Structure 1
Amino acid sequence: MKALFLKALIGSVLIAGISYAEDFKPNGSLGVTQTFYGNSGKYKTESSHPSAVLNYNFTKAWSLSLQWDRVWNMYNYTNGENEQDNSFSGPKATLSNNHGVLGNTKIKWSSSLMVENEAEFNNSNQTYILAQTAFDFLEYIPKGEYIQATQFAFSPMYVYGWSTKGASGHVNTGVLSLLTNWQLPANFTFKFNTYLFREWYEGSFEISSSNQSYKTANYFMILAWLEYSKELYKVNEQTSLVFNFAGGFDPYISSNRKAAGWDPFISGNQMYEWLNPTVSSGDYKSTYALFALPQLEVVYNYSQDLSLSVFAQVKYSNQVWGNTEKDWKLQPQGGIGITYNF
């Protein structure tokens, strides 16, 4: 079955490549970013986050993304009070296809298949497969004078995860999501995504309350953030100072189970920021992470294909979530990035 799938996939790629050979040139980008995080007040959150992303469009319809993220503490984590264990490694690969419009409609159809491995370096390792398809109704959304949609897609998703190291178990997740992006006045953009999903647990993936464990759970999640970007000063033709901002819910999530012990994969996969609140005071019955992240960035375009950036930013967010949300702290952040387009 696996060999048959690979043959079909290779055949589709070759056919697509022949069809678009005359007017398409494969292209892509390679980006590397190194981010450093400081402490959040009394909370020990100091950590380092290198990230590498390779995007390659090998036909007009097919693209491949390879990404690796590594996060580690910049201190000796002892599981003491007000400490956050950031030990994490997450390589993933995503194959995407743009199917074009659906039949005689204006609905844009796309699909993707992602495989990710998550290691927390505590004798725990999980692998996830995320299959997603999206139907974008953007062309049917009226365009206002001040507000215009740039995405309005219904996207079913399916996630299968299993333990590849440590206690055995697996999880199935069925998701129905609405993915929207909006262009606002004064160069503001707004993302508002909603997710309804149900999970079925087995073994190490089960969630528990004080007196019982659950085989299933239902969730409702919102991811919503406002973004802004403006060039403040142009030093020369190659160098500029830019102000960026992002802020909002990351995420708001509620569940029919007052239980803890498991973070839904889809939450971490879709959220904006890399670091969760430091302390989980309970469960996902009804909770949220709320953040604001202003940034100053110096961008240097060495050539048309190569650019460098240095940035400094500060995150303001709640460090406790679960039964309550509290301890709003500032966390200094900074880093450097390089992007090569080919």
Structure 2
Amino acid sequence: MKRLAILAASILILGTVTQAAETFKPYGSVSQEAEYFGNYDTESNKDYMRFTPISGNLQISEKASADFRGRYKFGLHDGDDKTSSSDFRARWYYNHGTLENTKIDLKSMVRFEKTTKYQEGVNIDPNSLMASAIGLEYTAEYNLKFDFAKYFPSNSFITVDQFSITPSYAYMFGNGKANHAQTLGVDLYSDYTLPWGFSAELNIYSFQTWASERRAISSSGQSTDNFYTTAVEAYLYYNHTLYTTEDNATRFKFLFEGGFDPYQWSNKRVYGITRANDKVISNGAEYNYTLYAEPQLRIDHTLTETTNVYLGVKGHYTNLNTKGTSASHWRWQPRVVVGWSTKF
């Protein structure tokens, strides 16, 4: 009788698990976006477009998910300013659950990113910025997040949504070239919900790079194949709905984001060199940063239960430093963005 009861319980558990697996359906969203970047107040004929033909996320199973993004930048005027560039990123996640006898959540991430040119204010990972600085186009990374958010008490003033200590390894390589580099580091990722529609994000990256080829670090000919880098990303966000129609189909919003994207420092300057004779062709930077503020007025309209379209007008106010010297002056840039997204 006891064995029969155990067998019946086992069949019931197995049936429940099977039914849960059968009823789960993948879901996610996809979007497209076009954004016009106007001239800074000190420039002319420098405006350009950035088109995102595909961006989205997918919940593959109860524990596995992914997101992806492809973007193209192209100038609107003849000459060097018309040169196009692109970046592509795909990330895969697996939720391992809670570490035994703790409140620590474990999550793996695998990232592949291709970028052909550094663009300020577009959220490119510091590892990929390092790859670009030493002439490599592709980055493949694995990291394991130990999320301690559940150890922080929540209150009406602040909620810690994520506080992850994250060991990482990245491999960077060029297009059809034998040269490559590797990084090993420990990062911090953290997200916070604040009152009155505000939220914040703080990420700290710390990694050592080993390159297969030596890079010039001074105009006198000194070179090295390893360098240490640390970078800080700090963002503040605000989301406030100014007006909503009675059917809630159309919403007029004021949005804001700003901060460092990122502040980056390296213990050695990396100088540009030509492969023919290792001649120094440009000054390197011990550190660089983009400090910016971007208010936006935006209209969202729900076409169907799953599809949304939007139009936004932005004012991008930025202070860009990439020379390792004093900061440049603040500059305004108008931007206009239009896009749509749908859920499935």
Contact 1:110/1:133 (8 A) holds in 2: yes
The residue correspondences of 1:152-191 to structure 2 (distance < 5 A) are: 152-165=163-176, 168-191=178-201
* Structure 2 spans left out of the alignment, 5+ residues: 1-16, 118-134, 274-281
Check 1:229–1:97 CA distance in 2 against 1; reply closer, same or farther (3 A cut). Answer: same
**Secondary structure at the counterpart of residue 292 of structure 2:** strand
| Cα distance change, pair 86–334 in 1 and its aligned pair in 2 (3 A) | farther
Other structure's SS at 2:153 match? coil
Q: For the Cα contact (< 8 Å) 1:147–1:185, is it kept in 2?
A: yes
Q: Secondary structure at the match of 2:196?
A: helix
Equivalent residue, structure 2, for 1:227 = 237
Partners of 1:184 and 1:283 in 2: CA distance: 38
Q: Deviations over 1:272-327 (max 9, x none)?
A: xxxxxxxxx95442332100000111000112200000111011112443223213
Rg (Cα) greater in structure: 2
Partner residue in 1 for 2:307: 306
Aligned to 1:25: 25
Query: Take 1:74 and 1:236, find their aligned partners in 2: how far apart are those partners?
Result: 41
Tell me, yes or no, if the aligned pair for 1:117 and 1:125 is still in contact at 8 Å.
no
- C-alpha deviations, 1:105-149, integer Å up to 9, x for none? 2111111112223345xxx87222111211110110122441221
Question: For structure 1, which segment, 241-250 or 174-183, has the greater mean C-alpha deviation from structure 2 after superposition?
Answer: 174-183
Q: Give how far 1:160 is off.
A: 0.5
1:249 aligns with 2:260: yes
**1:235-255 Cα distance to aligned partner (Å, 9 max, x none):** 342001011100111111111
| Structure 2 partner of 1:206 | 215
2:96 corresponds in structure 1 to 99
Structure 1 residue runs of 5 or longer lacking an equivalent are 1-16, 263-280
Equivalent AA in structure 2 for residue 215 of structure 1: D
Q: 1:13 maps to which residue?
A: none
Matched, 1:68 2:70: yes
- Going from structure 1 to structure 2, the CA distance change for 1:216 and 1:18 (only over 3 Å counts) comes to farther
User: How well do the aligned residues superpose, as a CA RMSD in angstroms?
Assistant: 2.3
Secondary structure of the residue aligned to 2:150 is: helix
Q: Identify the residue that residue 56 of structure 1 maps to in structure 2.
A: 58
Closer/same/farther in 2, CA of residues 196 and 49 from structure 1, 3 Å limit: same
For normalisation by structure 2, the TM-score amounts to: 0.80
Q: Which moved more, 1:222-231 or 1:19-28?
A: 19-28
234-243 or 22-31: which moved more?
22-31
- Whether 2:161 is the aligned partner of 1:150: answer yes
Please tell me whether the aligned partners of residues 156 and 195 of structure 2 are also in contact (alpha carbons under 8 angstroms): no
In structure 2, what is the equivalent of residue 293 of structure 1?
Answer: 294
Alpha-carbon separation, structure 2, partners of 1:132 and 1:284: 27
Match of 1:327, SS state, is: coil
Checking the alignment, whether the CA contact within 8 Å between 1:41 and 1:329 is kept in structure 2 is yes
* Contact map agreement 2:312 2:337 (CA 8 A) in 1: yes
Following the alignment from structure 1 to structure 2, what is the Cα–Cα distance between the partners of residues 67 and 287?
A: 25
> Whole-Å Cα distance in 2 between the matches of residues 149 and 322 of structure 1?
35
CA shift, 1:340, in A, is 0.6
Distance in 1, Cα, partners of 2:218 & 2:186: 26
- Seen in structure 2, the aligned counterparts of structure 1 residues 71 and 63 have a Cα distance that, compared at 3 Å, is same
State the match for 1:265 in structure 2. Answer: none
- DSSP-derived class of the 2:34 partner: strand
What is the number of residues matched between the two proteins?
Answer: 298
Q: Is the 8 A contact 1:47 1:86 kept in 2?
A: no
Provide the C-alpha distance between the structure 1 equivalents of 2:306 and 2:101, rounded to a whole number of angstroms. 38
Q: Secondary structure at the match of 1:132?
A: strand
Contact 1:195 1:221 in 2 (8 A): yes
In 2, the alpha carbon distance for the partners of 1:207 and 1:221 equals 21
Cα separation, partners in 2 of 1:49 and 1:213, compared to 1, 3 Å? same
- Deviation of the 1:19 alpha carbon: 7.5
Please name the residue that 2:336 is paired with: 334
How many Å apart are 1:260 and its aligned residue?
3.5
Structure-1 residue corresponding to 2:137: 126
Work out whether residues 199 and 217 of structure 1, in 8 Å CA contact, stay in contact via their aligned partners in 2: yes
More deviation in 208-217 or 238-247? 208-217
Deviation of residue 71 (structure 1)?
1.2
Code of the aligned partner of 2:260: F
How far does the alpha carbon of each residue in 1:171-206 deviate from its partner, in whole angstroms, 9 at most, with x for none? 111121111111122111111111111111123x83
Whole-Å Cα distance in 2 between the matches of residues 310 and 304 of structure 1?
19
Q: Give the residue type in structure 2 aligned to 1:26.
A: P
Cα distance in 2 between the residues matched to 1:138 and 1:230: 26
SS at match of 1:186: coil
